Amino acid sequence: MKSPKILIFTDLDGTLLDDKTYSFKPALPALKIIHSLKIPLILVSSKTRAEIEFFRKRLSLDSPFIAENGGGIFFPDRFKLPKDFLYEKVNGCNAIFIGRPIKEVLEKIHKLKEDFPFEGFSEIPVKEIVALTGLTLEQAILASKREFDEPIVLKNPLDDREIFCKKASDLGLDCVYGGRFIHLFLDGNKGKAVEIVLNIYKQLRGPIFSIGLGDSPNDISMLRVVDKAILMQDRDGTYIKGLVHPDLTKTEGNGPEAWNRVMLSILSA
């Protein structure tokens, strides 16, 4: 019987990347092994396509990636998709869109303003995104190029996120917490996107063993659908709640050092 092919799905901020410096340098030992074994490393993030492409170049990756909480899946142009998958050509990629366009999301978001004061990335000046995130100006410009998902900041820190998300849900919006922001979108989520990628690899390559790494509530849907789930600690040393999985590993710490440690352990097993 053919051995399962390994696929690794990873969140970025607070997982593969340091959530303050956005560095992945401490993860280089594990990344080198992953490259040498030709294991597809699939980035799954709330970041935009433009942001992820920036990091893919730095990481020397040629595997597919999932942007904006599952809104879009992007395969390199030379990656030939099975015939039953509809895709569009986007900037050298074969793209499968799950999420609704950002214009539709913003139309629904407007109604939320009647009950909650907040700002979304579509309204925030780029320099303010720099202040909120610690990104460089170049990276903040890339972060503002939203296609599916609107990160928002509640102006009143006393506003309850759960009540806010309930109101958003009543309007048909998907609402999840990321590392820093509440994210609003329509239809797509990380889990749906990962399931599609798994289905495609299974059709093309046969049996798959999938590993997922994440740290935030918006990673739960992704971690539920992989064979092995790895949960990183939050910044305050706690773990997100609500994830039940038959093969769950909880790491000590977060960011690239913890990512490197747990991946070296798995790859050497």
Rounded distance, CA 109 to CA 85, Å? 31
**Calpha distance 237→84 (Å, rounded):** 44
Q: How far is CA 168 from CA 102, 174, 176, 186, in A?
A: 15, 7, 10, 11
Q: pLDDT band at 91, cuts 50/70/90?
A: confident
Q: Which of 10, 65, 58 is nearest to 258 (CA)?
A: 10
**Domain count for the chain:** 2
The alpha carbons of the chain give a radius of gyration, in whole angstroms, of 18
Residue type, 180: R
- Say which residues have a Cβ less than 8 Å from residue 177's Cβ, sequence separation at least 6: 161, 183, 216, 217, 218
The CATH number of whichever domain residue 243 belongs to comes to 3.40.50.1000
The CATH number given to whatever domain includes residue 140 is: 3.30.980.20
Tokens standing for residue 253: 């710490």
Residue 156 pLDDT greater than 90, yes or no: no
Which of 142, 162, 185 delimits the end of a domain? 185
Q: Which pLDDT value is given to residue 224?
A: 97
Task: Copy the structure tokens of residue 71.
Answer: 């809104």
Active site residue 62: no
Tell me what pLDDT residue 158 has.
59
pTM over 0.85: yes
Residues 38-67 have a mean pLDDT of 96
**Residues spanned by the domain of 130:** 102-185
Residue 2 banded pLDDT, cuts 50, 70, 90: low
Taking Cα atoms as reference points, which of 65, 59, 58, 40 lies closest to residue 211? 40
What would the pLDDT profile of 106-122 be if each residue is shown by its tens digit?
A: 999 988 888 888 999 99
Residue of 11, 19, 149, 215 marked active site: 11
Q: Beta-carbon neighbour count of residue 224 at 10 Å?
A: 17
Q: Which residues, listed in sequence order, are joined to residue 96 by a DSSP beta bridge? A: 73
Q: Are residues 209 and 138 in the same domain?
A: no
Residue 174 shares a structural domain with residue 111: yes
